[in-house]
Amino acid sequence: MAHHVLLYTLDGTTDVAEAYLASRGLADRFVLVGLAHRPMASPTAAELAGFEAVLGEFMPVRAEEADVMSSAGIRLVASMSIGLNHVDVAALAERGILTANCPGYCADEVAEHAVALMLDLMRQVTTSNRDVLAGTWDPHFGYEMRRATSQTCGLVFFGGIARHVAPIVQALGMHVVVWAPTKTGSELAAAGCEKVDTLDELLARADVVSLHCPLIPMTKGLIGAPELARMKSTAFLVNTSRGAVVDEEALADALETGTIRAAGLDVLADEAHPNKRLVDNPRCIVTPHVAYESREAAEALVTMSMKSVCELLVDGRTPEWVA
């Protein structure tokens, strides 16, 4: 009998998944059903009925959703994401349901976006354009700008995305320091980076601090008022990781008082209700959690998720990217 899989995505399309199955000669082994939904919604019991696996895009799974999925007979939740802070992996596991994710699917895109935010802040691209649109023409607009070759970039953690950021900023001539407790000095040196032993040291030395850590208990609120105070008054903060890694009120205070120079954020703690103090601050560039976007990344999300589905339902083994 064919395996039934629900693609619970924003657009509800199944084209990429169908093409993946065809490429593996498995088209006749599956029935795929696409169901479009609004962001941060979860499927109901009726919508899950008859499916063995669900691919979820912007689909939170808490304990109550895990109960619904267990009752429906779901065996695998393939989260179309890298981070799993919106999925209760333990609750699913307790009910015999595996969780898979898509590590590294958008590493290139997020790295490029992080560097784009850095350059935007360093060259005042967005803010000076706003000034021109307001009717002013001032080539000496804003704060003093410095060459990239004179700057130090500090990377917080060194996973797949940070590994892509490092060579880009190094190509600009920036020195890279890294605080990554699980990485050795020799490992970072092989990537042309300098290891620092503490976050405090990184904050004190970096001209640009770029966050690349997952949202876990040790990183929630990692950058708060004390950390911002340790940064240079001329420094920039870039966050393309998770919004809750930063204390947003502390960051708003730091921008308003000049504790740091400016910030570039692609993520916020509550993206349904963006922090107005940050959005409205002229020295804060906010993009709408778009760093992961590209056609290639969107296709990778589906194909990586379907690979996990096939590994479990066809090959009968634990998926490579199981959490």
- Tell me what pLDDT residue 301 has: 97
Q: What is the pLDDT of residue 63?
A: 96
From the list 163, 289, 293, 299, the catalytic residue is 289
Q: Name the phi and psi angles at 226, rounded to 5.
A: -60, -40
Contact 183, 200 (CB under 8 A): no
State yes or no: is 289 an active-site residue: yes
pTM score of the predicted model: 0.90
The answer to whether 271 is a known catalytic residue is yes
Smallest CA-to-CA distance from 242 within 203, 284, 292 is with: 292
Q: Beta strands 53-56 and 3-9: pairing type?
A: parallel
Average pLDDT of the chain to the nearest whole number:
97
Contact, 57 vs 80, CB < 8 A? yes
Question: Two tokens at 140?
Answer: 């000496």
Catalytic residue among 256, 271, 296, 320: 271
Give the model's confidence band at 83: pLDDT under 50 very low, under 70 low, under 90 confident, else very high. Answer: confident
- Would the pLDDT of 249 be above 90? yes
Answer yes or no: is pLDDT of 202 > 90.
yes
If you average pLDDT over residues 228-251, what whole number do you get?
A: 98
Task: Give the model's pLDDT for residue 137.
Answer: 97
Active site residue 242: yes
Structural domains in the chain, sorted by start:
3-105+294-313 (3.40.50.720), 107-286 (3.40.50.720)
From the list 242, 248, 283, 311, the catalytic residue is 242
Q: Which pLDDT does position 1 carry in this prediction?
A: 85
